[in-house]
């Protein structure tokens, strides 16, 4: 019997375990397997294979049962995920439905999730901006969080590492606030977007308008062809899954690459319950998993564990990983686990019209748009709110079609729309302040379908966020007016936190173990063989889209972990 037990443990033992298969989990799998580690990737959702499991990717709208729209019953059953811009008939199968995985809203919070192999890497908006030293210095400069234990110089080589593999389009703009990267050719501007950029450059010294930086292959390099990926076709159907691999996802890129090493074991339908901590060894030894099909608990073992379950679920796993040594969650000597959660403020927007360039129009599609890097409170505090905001921008020719009639007459009217002027618009991407009052915790009574405590979320806007919205509206109105735009209208949609889908923190990095969870290598201060490199690890949020930083932090941590393993330190 003893031999059977030993054999059973050997069969479930790996060099490394990665919890989650999304953007950061996929990168952990790639880096660890490439370095020779037998790696188990645990995914709570179903398997999704690249190309094979994108059922709507090649369908025309009229080939879908409901012409791309969701039936009323589905919309009524999903008031939370139904708010997401990408949730429609062509993509609904990649989203968690409201009733499937309950959580508790102490304050209104729209938690958007994708539980499948690849996670939300199939659904993300693909914007990829580097942080600058300014962003890492923010907490120390303004005193609103703990200091970052790393700076731009620490992560810059890893930004380059992941950019080359993922494929990032962009232009080298030479901005101190937004460092240049390893870019593929940039997307083109249309004439009004270019005009707006030129006008802002002429009227302001500090408000550049640049073409966005995005994870799309505009010109495949040998490394992309080796992955089996092709040039982006600009279909803008990305949330259906891309059979060309034209945008970066775990499914198209990192997971197949890891599989080619022969070192990857991917286990879907594996809901992580907790991390096993060995009191005698003083380290984590494995992971408890509930099989989603059988509801049985299984244990897997490894020397190192990467927790990449997405920010709030990573908090949940660590909070649920209790022991005599860590009664309040794994590594939680500081008491900050689950606290200081932050997000991005996407509430505000502005629209207008422009009557110039009436001899031109747009043609085709583009999965990207211009971007306005942060320009408020950059080098000094100049407003009555802390931090700042970035913004998107776009311009499109107004087109009106006559849909009367049928047959040839209808086709002709649709093919020859009446053109008006140009519509212009922008949306805000504001930084929120990590606060102790913004937290997640485990409910003491309510369980999910797997018997795991439900997550209780208490996250809200504050006065600083309201002031930022007002300033964005004022500054963008001024900029639109300076460009000669008319019929300018501002909005604040008052959306709930969470709908930005950029939740961060709860397992923050820091220099002091008394006030943080992770050190500069993304490892738990008090459990050195556990690493967290997804959004939960973020000390502050800055204004940039965060996924590129998760990728870089993951590759950096994996490199360090393997070196420490070779030194017998882990």
Confidence tier at 225 by pLDDT (50, 70, 90): very high
Confidence tier at 406 by pLDDT (50, 70, 90): confident
- Strand pairing of 168-169 and 344-345? unpaired
User: What's residue 5's pLDDT?
Assistant: 57
Give residue-wise pLDDT tens across range 440-490: 999 999 999 999 999 999 999 999 999 999 999 999 999 999 999 999 999
User: What's residue 381's pLDDT?
Assistant: 92
User: What's residue 2's pLDDT?
Assistant: 54
Alpha carbons 426 and 225: distance in angstroms, whole number? 35
User: What's residue 515's pLDDT?
Assistant: 98
Q: Token digits for 365?
A: 């599609």
Provide CB contacts within 8 A for 463, sequence distance 6+: none
Q: Angle between the 547-566 and 152-166 helix axes, to the nearest 10 degrees? A: 100
Confidence tier at 143 by pLDDT (50, 70, 90): confident
Q: Token digits for 346?
A: 């996407």
Alpha carbons 329 and 322: distance in angstroms, whole number? 5
Query: Do 309 and 272 meet the contact criterion of CB atoms below 8 Å apart?
Result: yes
Would you call 514 helix, strand, or coil by DSSP?
A: coil
φ/ψ of 196, rounded to 5, equals: -60, -45
Q: What is the mean pLDDT of residues 543-562?
A: 98
Give residue-wise pLDDT tens across range 356-375: 999 999 888 999 999 999 99
User: What's residue 416's pLDDT?
Assistant: 79
Alpha carbons 60 and 64: distance in angstroms, whole number? 7
User: What's residue 405's pLDDT?
Assistant: 76
Other CB atoms within a 10 A radius of the CB of residue 247 amount to 24
User: What's residue 6's pLDDT?
Assistant: 66
Query: Do 103 and 440 meet the contact criterion of CB atoms below 8 Å apart?
Result: no
Q: What is the mean pLDDT of residues 532-561?
A: 98
User: What's residue 8's pLDDT?
Assistant: 67
Residue 240: pLDDT over 80: yes
Would you call 235 helix, strand, or coil by DSSP?
A: coil
Give residue-wise pLDDT tens across range 124-133: 999 999 999 9
Q: Count Cβ atoms within 10 A of the Cβ of residue 30 and give its class: 0-12 exposed, 13-18 middle, 19 or more buried.
A: buried
Give residue-wise pLDDT tens across range 304-340: 999 999 999 999 999 999 999 999 999 999 999 999 9
Phi-psi region of 381 (alpha: psi -120 to 50; beta: other; left: phi over 0): beta
**Mean pLDDT, the chain, integer:** 96
- Strand pairing of 418-431 and 344-345? antiparallel
User: What's residue 399's pLDDT?
Assistant: 86
Sign of CA dihedral 83, 86, 92, 96: negative
Q: Angle between the 152-166 and 133-142 helix axes, to the nearest 10 degrees? A: 140
Give residue-wise pLDDT tens across range 1-28: 555 556 667 889 999 999 999 999 999 9
- Strand pairing of 439-447 and 453-458? antiparallel
Alpha carbons 336 and 90: distance in angstroms, whole number? 40
Sequential DSSP letters for 112-127: ----BTTGGGGT---B
Q: Token digits for 312?
A: 């709030």
User: What's residue 142's pLDDT?
Assistant: 86
User: What's residue 286's pLDDT?
Assistant: 98
Exposure on the CB side of residue 545, measured as CA atoms within 13 A: 19
Classify residue 251 by its DSSP letter. I
Q: Name the residue among 278, 294, 411 with its Cα closest to residue 286.
A: 278
Provide CB contacts within 8 A for 516, sequence distance 6+: 146, 149, 334, 336, 508, 509, 510, 525, 539
Q: Token digits for 471?
A: 């300033």
488-504 core/surface letters (b: 16 or more CB in 10 A; e: else): bebeeeebbbbbbbbbb
Query: Do 538 and 509 meet the contact criterion of CB atoms below 8 Å apart?
Result: yes
Alpha carbons 524 and 315: distance in angstroms, whole number? 13
Q: Name the residue among 568, 558, 486, 553 with its Cα closest to residue 36.
A: 558
Give residue-wise pLDDT tens across range 32-59: 999 999 999 999 999 999 999 999 999 9
């Amino acid at each position: 019997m003893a031999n059977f037990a030993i054999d059973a443990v050997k069969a479930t033992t790996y060099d490394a375990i990665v919890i989650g298969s999304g953007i950061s989990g996929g990168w952990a799998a790639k880096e660890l397997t490439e370095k020779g580690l037998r790696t188990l990737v645990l995914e709570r959702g179903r398997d999704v294979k690249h190309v094979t499991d994108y059922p709507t990717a090649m369908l025309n709208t009229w080939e879908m049962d409901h012409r791309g729209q969701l039936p009323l019953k589905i919309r009524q059953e999903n008031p939370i995920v139904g708010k997401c811009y990408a949730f429609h008939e062509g993509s609904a199968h990649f989203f968690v439905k409201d009733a499937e995985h309950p959580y508790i809203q102490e304050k209104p919070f729209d938690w958007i999730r994708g539980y499948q192999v690849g996670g939300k890497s199939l659904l993300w908006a693909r914007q990829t901006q580097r942080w600058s030293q300014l962003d890492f210095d923010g907490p120390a400069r303004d005193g609103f969080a703990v200091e970052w234990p790393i700076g731009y110089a620490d992560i810059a080589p890893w930004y380059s590492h992941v950019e080359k593999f993922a494929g990032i389009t962009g232009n080298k703009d030479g901005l101190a606030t937004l460092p240049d990267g390893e870019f593929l050719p940039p997307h083109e501007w249309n004439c009004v977007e270019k005009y707006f950029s030129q006008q802002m450059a002429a009227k302001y010294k500090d408000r550049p308008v640049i073409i966005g930086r995005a994870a799309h292959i505009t010109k495949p390099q040998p490394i992309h062809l080796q992955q089996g990926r092709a040039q982006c076709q600009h279909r803008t159907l990305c949330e259906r899954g891309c059979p060309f691999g034209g945008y970066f996802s775990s499914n198209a890129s990192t997971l197949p690459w890891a599989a080619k090493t022969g070192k990857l074991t991917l286990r879907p339908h594996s809901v992580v319950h907790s991390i096993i901590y060995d009191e005698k060894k003083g380290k984590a030894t494995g992971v408890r998993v509930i099989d989603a099909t059988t509801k049985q608990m299984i244990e897997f073992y490894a020397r190192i564990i990467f927790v990449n379950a997405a920010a709030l679920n990573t908090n949940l796993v660590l909070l649920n990983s209790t022991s005599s040594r860590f009664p309040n969650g794994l590594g939680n000597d500081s008491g900050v686990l689950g606290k200081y959660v932050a997000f991005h403020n996407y509430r505000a927007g502005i629209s207008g019209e422009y009557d110039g360039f009436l001899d031109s129009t747009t043609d085709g599609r583009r999965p990207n748009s211009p971007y306005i890097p942060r320009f408020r409170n950059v080098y000094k505090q100049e407003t009555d709110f802390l931090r700042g905001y970035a913004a998107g921008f776009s311009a499109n020719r107004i087109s009106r079609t006559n849909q009367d009639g049928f047959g040839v007459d209808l086709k002709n009217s649709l093919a020859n729309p009446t053109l008006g002027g140009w519509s212009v618009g922008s949306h805000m991407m504001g930084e929120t302040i990590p606060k102790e009052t913004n937290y997640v915790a485990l409910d003491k009574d309510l369980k999910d379908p797997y018997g795991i405590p439900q997550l209780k979320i208490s996250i809200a806007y504050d006065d600083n966020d309201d002031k930022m919205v007002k300033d964005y509206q004022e500054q963008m109105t001024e900029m639109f007016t300076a460009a000669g735009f008319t019929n300018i209208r501002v909005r604040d949609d008052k959306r709930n936190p969470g709908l930005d889908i950029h939740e961060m923190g709860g397992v923050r990095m820091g220099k002091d173990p008394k006030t943080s969870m992770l050190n500069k290598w993304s490892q738990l201060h008090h459990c050195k063989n556990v690493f967290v490199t997804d959004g939960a690890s973020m000390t502050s949020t800055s204004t940039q889209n965060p996924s590129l930083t998760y990728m870089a932090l993951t590759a950096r941590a994996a490199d360090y972990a393997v070196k420490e393993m070779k030194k017998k330190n882990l």
